[in-house]
Amino acid sequence: MKWFGGRDKRGGRSAMASRRGVAYSSSPLLASKTPPWRSKFLVALVGLGFVVLLGRAAYVQIVGTEFFQKQGEIRFARQLDLPASRGRIVDRNGQILAASVPAPSLWVLPKDFEASAAQRRALAKLLGMTPGELDRRLDDNPNFIWLRRQVDEQVARDAMALNLKGLHQVREYKRKYPEGEASAHVIGFTNAEEHGQEGVELSFDAQLAGRDGMRRVIKDRLGRVVEDIGDSVAPVDGQDLTLAIDSKVQFFAYQRVRDAVAQHKARAGSVVVLDVQTGEVLALANYPSFVPGDRRRLNREQMRNRALIDSFEPGSTMKPFIAALAMETGRVTPQTVIQTAPGWITITGSKISDAHPHGPLTVAEVIQKSSNVGTTKMAMQMQPREMWELYTELGFGQKPQIPFPGAVTGRLRPYKTWRPIEQATMSYGYGLSVSLFQLARAYTVLANDGELLPLSLLHRDADAAPGPRPSGLRVMSAQTAREVRHMLQMAAGPGGTAPKAQAIGYSVGGKTGTAHKQEGKGYAEKKYRAWFVGMAPIEKPRIVVAVMVDEPNDGKYFGGDVAAPVFSEVVQQTLRMMGVPPDLEVKPQIVAHDVPAVEESF
């Protein structure tokens, strides 16, 4: 045991002495001399590093401080827009036609988004998507995705109740249109950012839009606001807009033209209603139409505001103006007899015919029977310049002075280029083109004792702006206008082309128009447009109503059969709503309404 646990004391001391006697300085590795430049080089490198760091710090803190502060703000600071509420659009009685309502929008940061399969299915169902559609949308962009904009409040609450990481909502506004398709072409619509795209929404966009506010904040990595920076700029809401449109008149006009299009299997139709006393547009309706708040299946045919942007040859609706010019220049009187036999006339080799031979007719009867021959004979007594000047004063060939996108000028060629046959056909509405809106405005001259008033889409509030009504352009004498109104009353009564225009309780006057549609370089044999333009009450007109039905296809196509009944119903309803007292007994009119119409020449 001693032997294993013992130790040689001498041997131990000898080993220790041996270790103490080692000379480390004599090691070849440690004994080699280091070159002096090496240590100096290392010190220089360390010093240079400090200089570079000091220079960089000076550059960041002094020279480039604005740039780096801006870069820092970009990563954390955000400017939040405070949207202004778009102004309302209301009718002349304060009825809301367009208004903005709060509508939250949902967005996500896909890289932060976390949801179980069940939560994804629930979210997709709330948003009206399939789970696959939701996944594809989340894969589009890792930084920011709109999931659904302008959803219902309840949908947003249910979505946020899922407590999904990375899902956020922002408060926006959505445009609502209570009158729907009845007023769609007048009001128009906005896009998702509430910028006007069509109609009044586009024309008055700057006035309605207002000015957005601004708030600068600092957000954390998860997009949460942690601090405000500087002062906020409050939004300025848009101004409300009061239109001249009467929503009740507008809705009724839309219903009547819609029913006429369906009844006659037509392609489209339009109605314009004007207040003769103020020049205000009470209704401007088109069919087909669309729902402004739902444009998923919208097409160009539905969007066309045909009353303003479609132009056409107005046909026989031009004849009263030729009679007015002939009387104004002293060439004829209402009782002047014009021989229309044998029912046709030749102008430079071209034949112009009436639907039926009439023989001798007075000027008043020429308008009542809508005689092409009688109108042509009056027109050929005039210089082309006289007709051109009249048409120009009536507003044809000029863009309507109304703030509405797409309103057409129509076509009226310079009189120096007219050939005799062109002068003849222009007298009964071929060879020039106008919109229904232009035609309605032209008839206000006859309704307003020879004066053409400027028209307005905005309400002219008599209380806010007292004084005389707006002055217009004198086109003809009051006497001539009244005499033509009497002719129009004959045209809309027994023996005329439009007894179906008679309105129960009110005296009316107006003129039919029927024309072949242009197709290529000629005219379609079996495609027509039918019009009726008139006014009521006839002694002191309050309104002018113009109706157009495009391509009636049920066997009837004359303006007196297709458009005149729409005029009759719109006149009755409008005058009653305006509080205009009836000026006729009911019974005689019912009899007159059933009298067959004289077939129109066109």
Active site residues: 316
Collapse the DSSP code of 515 into the 3-class scheme (helix H, G, I; strand E, B; otherwise coil) and give the result: strand
Rounded Cα gap, residues 424 and 429, in angstroms: 9
Rounded Cα gap, residues 138 and 353, in angstroms: 71
**Strand order of the sheet with strand 509-519?**
281-287, 268-275, 543-550, 522-536, 509-519
Are 506 and 583 in contact by the 8 Å Cβ rule? The answer is: yes
Which amino acid is present at 171?
R
Collapse the DSSP code of 460 into the 3-class scheme (helix H, G, I; strand E, B; otherwise coil) and give the result: coil
Collapse the DSSP code of 89 into the 3-class scheme (helix H, G, I; strand E, B; otherwise coil) and give the result: strand
Rounded Cα gap, residues 116 and 162, in angstroms: 11
Rounded Cα gap, residues 101 and 259, in angstroms: 33
E strand map for 164-303: 167-176, 189-190, 196-198, 213-219, 225-233, 241-242, 268-275, 281-287
DSSP structure class, residue 597 = P
Q: In the structure encoding, which two tokens stand for residue 169, read together?
A: 């909502």
For every residue of 531-579, which 3-state class applies, written as one string? EEEEEECCCCCCEEEEEEEECCCCCCCCHHHHCHHHHHHHHHHHHHHCC
Cis peptide before 357 (omega within 30 of 0): no
β-pairing, 225-233 with 213-219? antiparallel
Question: Measuring CA to CA, which residue among 428, 559, 425, 587 is closest to residue 491?
Answer: 559
Are 512 and 558 in contact by the 8 Å Cβ rule? The answer is: yes
Q: How many CA atoms lie within 13 A of 472 on its CB side?
A: 27
- Please, which residues have CB within 8 angstroms of residue 532's CB and are 6 or more apart in sequence? 498, 501, 510, 511, 512, 513, 546, 547, 559, 560, 563, 564, 566, 567
Rounded Cα gap, residues 76 and 58, in angstroms: 24
Are 96 and 86 in contact by the 8 Å Cβ rule? The answer is: no
- Helices of type H across 61-204: 65-76, 117-126, 131-140, 153-160, 184-187, 199-203
Q: In the structure encoding, which two tokens stand for residue 595, read together?
A: 């009298």
Are 479 and 351 in contact by the 8 Å Cβ rule? The answer is: no
Q: How many CA atoms lie within 13 A of 19 on its CB side?
A: 5
Rounded Cα gap, residues 265 and 259, in angstroms: 10
